[in-house]
Amino acid sequence: MRGAPHYHIFLWIKNAPVVNIDRPEEVCSFIHDRITCHIPNRNPLPDFNFLVTKYEMHKCSKYCTRNIKDLCIKKLI
């Protein structure tokens, strides 16, 4: 198994903008304001910080750069 277990889901949120009906900027802004992530601070949570940076952050491998050397297919670097 690659990576951590995760879900692919759809959410219906009351009063949310609708893709392909509302303006794309409005949809993007709605998503950006509500879906976030951050790396936990090392000082109060050293173990949690270690786990997130070790297992949840993308690190390029030969697979990622197989098409163009030094260009990640995930477009993260």
What does the H/E/C string look like for 10-39?
CCCCCCCCCCCCCCHHHHHHHHHHHCCCCC
For residue 76, pLDDT over 80 is answered with no
pLDDT in tens, 16-53: 999 899 999 999 999 999 888 888 888 888 998 898 88
Which structural domain, as residue segments, surrounds residue 34? 1-76
Q: Taking a C-beta distance cutoff of 8 angstroms, is the pair 45, 38 a contact?
A: no
pLDDT bin (cut points 50, 70, 90) of residue 7 is: confident
| Domains contained in the chain, number | 1
- The pLDDT assigned to 77 comes to 47
Which residues, 6 or more positions from 48, have their beta carbon under 8 angstroms from its beta carbon? 40
